[in-house]
A and B are shown apart, each in its own frame.
Chain A
Amino acid sequence: MSQAFRINIGGLVNREKELSFKFNGKSYFGYEGDTLASALLANGVHLVGRSFKYHRPRGFFGAGVDEPYAIVQLYRNGETEPNVKATEQELFEGLEAKSVNCWPSVNFDIGAINNFLKIFLPAGFYYKTFMWPKSFWYRIYEPFIRKAAGLGVASTKHDNERYEHKYEYCDLLIAGSGPSGLASAYAAAKNGAKVILAEDKPRFGGSLLTSDVNIGNQSGKDWAEGIITELKTMPNVVVKNRSQIFGYYDHNMLVMSEKVSDHLPATKKYHPNKRLWYIRAKEVLISSGSIERPIVFGNNDTPGVMLSSAAKEYLKVYGVLVGRKPLVFTNNDSGYETAIEFKKNGVDSIVLDSRKNPESEIIDEAKNLGINIKNSYVVVAAQGYKKVKSADIAKISEDKKQLGEIENIQCDCICVSGFWTPTIHLASQSGNKTKFKEEIDAFVPGQSKQNEITLGAANGVFSLDETLKTSFKAGSELSKKITENDNKIAIPNVVEKKSSQHDKFWCVPLPKGKNYKRFLDFQNDVAVSDVEIALREGYRSIEHVKRYTTLGMATDQGKTSNLNGLQLVSEIENKVVPAVGHTTFRPPYTPVSIGAIVGREVGKHSKPTRKSPMHEWHEKNNAIFVDAGVWLRPRYYKRGNENLFEASKREAKNVRTNVGVCDVTTLGKIDIKGPDAAELLNRVYTNAWLKLPVGKARYGVMLREDGIVMDDGTTTRISENHYHMTTTTAQAANVLSHLEYYLQLVWPELNVNVVSTTEQWAGAAIAGPKSRDLLQKLFPNSDVSNEGLPFMGYMEGDLFGVKARIFRISFSGELAYEVNVESDYGNFMWKKIMEVGEEFKIQPYGTEALSTLRIEMGHVAGSELDGRTIPYDNALEGLVSKKKDFIGKRSLKRSAFTAQNRQRIVGVVPLDKQTSIPEGSHLVKDDKAALPNPKLGHISASCWSVEYDNPFSLAILKDGKNMIGQKLFAMSPLKNKVIPVEIVSSHYVDPKGERVRS
């Protein structure tokens, strides 16, 4: 099919470049610069979808962001995107799209039966009908509704597109490149201000692209082109097309979605699909223009009924005729402009004007061109099913209540204009309290709340002359405040035709005996009758009416429907529109891809990955890694066909019999310096710190002020005023903030500095009965004997020329040491340990073996210090000083914390010595008790004891102290397990702690 509705010359498309595309499987041609909508219309395609509720045929209603109908499923480069507006999607070679919300096809849609059942589908239908019986909801009603309603289908595949985020700061951010945007940007740019000018469409110029005006002796379009060309050359200006500012947030932060690749057949290499801009602007100029609103009449959703401004845009920008026998229905002069454009292209239209005797320069021009004008006439109903075939029209009385005799006239499209609604979304989002402007029957921004100003049509100013004057002034004054430059700009002469007052008329009454559907919200199928029902049923607040009827709740967010809805409510309620008020404008202004919001933080990149300096060695030696916070740690080192259980058992056993080495770089490390360092530690930890000698380490527990254990670790006194603190991997950042809080705010008199050194030191734990022999070989010049380096001792050593810190501390419960070297030498240290350790049968061990070793020793870790336990619960009350005060001490006096039957850590062994107990299992007295079975405690950590070769778990158990020897049940409904267990001491292996001191 050729482009039968394309005029021979005119429009801004590139006729040199023909593009082929497919819609619903059928091939068509368009031109470069078309949208999918304009290309389809050029081919005479008006039927593009089915409506949401009644599945009525739907066509094109607008030409841009306001489009309620033309929503398609787009296929591009092997991927699919749902709910794309055909009026916004630019055409590219090979584009494929399909209609949504119709089955089996747009031409024959089974759901259209709803149209005949519409009496059963009024407002609130779902609420009323599907209430009962409850069990039917998810089995029958919901699947049915989901299939029948809904829009496009989201892809279930991984999205291979890239999305970027960008942060930007500027002096002036200007939203919209129409006359007011261009004038204010130009004035501000000339004053040297840093300006960002954003335009959501591909072409700059806004209304100047379609209006018949003259600025400074050139056409409006040429003037716009000149300004944009000059702005693009200025280093202090960023101009962005295809970029929608969709949200205005606190403190002048605006977010913009830039479509980088949507207009191309495929995203270019290294380019993102979309780029999300977070822009912090000193001043915001909102020049978002206005959207034409419809007049409501019978069957006003029939394909071929569209906004008159859209018809004009298709003609002037794309060179496409939306019909050859147009009927224009207007209550203001805009309809005449469309009729004049038709006439200039040799198409005769009929203009129906609801006004009695309007007079203006525009109307005079239409009359002079011989256009057929019928005053006090309205469209009563469109006729035709899949396309407008004719219109029922009638004279209307002056009070707009009585219709004259119905006449039927032939037409193939109805271009409707009910005057203009300023686009005030951004202003309203900023916190601006909007006000109703009587002269234009619409809301405009009121008092500014943030640094924002609204200009031109968005502010309800429709005269180009006035718009340019105020915009040049605003741009130069706001920029002058910032840059202190004051370049005077000559405001160009404007030639525009004066228009007359519009008619306060928005809805055609129903003729006697007819009950045509008169739609307010086209995307959500909300008709006049639905709002009437809602009000009859007692809904009063406009917010409630909105939610009950779904008026304005579709993806177009009611851009064409809100104001008419308010008019209707105010009329029925006998109130003025401002008394009804409008619903809240919330971001985003238009739908934004989830991908753009997520940006680059996808999958593995959703958080940073931290690796120890020895990571590469672990990788080469078959380490299987596990996420530990943002760190990657070896969980176990796989040998042959070993699984996790076998490998960790082997590694743990080797620690108990020979020697093992574990990468402990991830532990948090904080360097503490200053004369009051000991005093700080004494206040932060529950035990005493003032008398720790130089060269000694001590284990400490710190609490929150509410008495709950926050973290534990060892701190070593390196020299008189210098300490090295270690924290758990998970709490490292919190502990640093905690120390800074007390030093900066609570005890600023303490002379101490703290700094994180986690990444400065690489750490290796060497554990096992042969660890001392190994250490001696690593540090031949140091005395590492039990006397030279006793338990909890510290010394510095020389590791083959590298300075090392040696701590005799143990997490595994074995004789053990921790060696730290500067991170850059981590790999060297590790290799040396492995090399020298070979004769002692050294093996590396991962976090799984590490856990096994600490669990059977009864050492607590994150699973016990879970933000719900106090020192007593972890059998750490011996570390709580009775003499001194410390953070959280006062809370330990609370009655719940001192209760006799307080929970406490215990060991748990299954009676059969075979069945491993799932972590998280509940301990109960009676496994057959009625649900909910009273819980006595929970399993916090489980392992396979390598010492005794049977399962062993730790648990936090109510009255744990007196429960040793008791038999209980561990129940895990998740794993469907009930395991009879015995309660034992948490110190399962070496209860006296002899090994660490050996």
Chain B
Amino acid sequence: MLYINCPHCGMRSQNEFSYGGDASVKRPKLNKEVSDQEWDDFVYNRKSLRGKHLELWQHISGCRQWIKVERDTATHEIFRTFKADEEVA
């Protein structure tokens, strides 16, 4: 079971969180014309990386905040976590 550092609550076990997918995906702006390809990339196309991956988790059984977690998908190592509005360098 992973041990995730919620930037709001501190170290918590994985079973308090729910997984939310790739955090690097950006939703196209409202009312903006988007091509089929752009929209498909946003809705469906994911890389399924092996290695370092920035992903979303929600602390559903805690502060209910969505957070960003930088995790290695192969080793489960967690490098850093961020608040929803923090820019990841």
Contacts and interface: CB of A to CB of B under 8 A. Distances in A.
B31 to A, nearest CB: 5
A745 B39 contact: no
A487 to B, nearest CB: 27
B45 interface: no
Contact of A737 (B1, B28, B60): B60
Interface stretch (A102-110, A247-255, A910-918): A247-255
Nearest to A888: B43
Interface string B11-45: 00100001010000001101100101001001110
Interface string A726-763: 00000001000100110011101000000000000000
B84 A744 contact: yes
A251 B43 CA distance: 32
Given A251-B1, A748-B85, A737 B58 contact: yes
Interface string B40-59: 00111000000000001010
A449 to B, nearest CB: 8
Contacts of B36: 894
Contacts of B1: 249-251, 253, 278
Interface in A943-957: none
Nearest to B11: A280
A894 B84 CA distance: 31
> Main SS of chain B's interface residues?
loop
B88 interface: no
Contacts of A733: 60
With most chain A CB atoms within 10 A of its CB, the pick from B13, B20, B75 is B13
Contacts, number: 55
B2 A251 contact: yes
Given A250-B1, A251-B3, A745-B66, 7 more contacts: A733-B60, A737-B58, A744-B65, A744-B85, A746-B27, A884-B31, A890-B39
Q: Of residues A683, A733, A740, A748, which shows the largest number of chain B Cβ atoms within 10 Å of its Cβ? A: A740
A885 B32 CA distance: 9
Given A250-B1, A251-B1, A683 B30 contact: yes
Contacts of A251: 1-3, 76, 78
A169 to B, nearest CB: 9
Contact of B18 (A249, A737, A890): A737
A229 to B, nearest CB: 34
B66 A740 contact: yes
Contacts of A746: 27
Interface in A235-289: 249-253, 278, 280
Q: How extensive is the interface on chain A, given as a class?
A: 20 to 34
B80 interface: no
Contact of B39 (A250, A280, A741, A891): A891
Contacts of B34: 890
A252 B11 CA distance: 13
B30 A250 contact: no
Nearest to B30: A885
A835 interface: no
Given A745-B66, A890-B34, A252 B39 contact: no
A705 interface: yes
A891 B43 contact: yes
Contacts of A744: 65-66, 84-85
Most chain B beta-carbon neighbours within 10 Å: one of A683, A705, A740, A890: A890
Nearest to A249: B1
Given A250-B2, A278-B1, A683-B30, A740 B42 contact: no
A885 B31 contact: yes
Contact of B58 (A167, A741, A890, A891): A741
B50 to A, nearest CB: 16
A706 interface: yes
A683 B27 CA distance: 13
Q: Which 4 A-B pairs have the closest CB atoms?
A: A251-B3, A744-B84, A885-B30, A250-B76
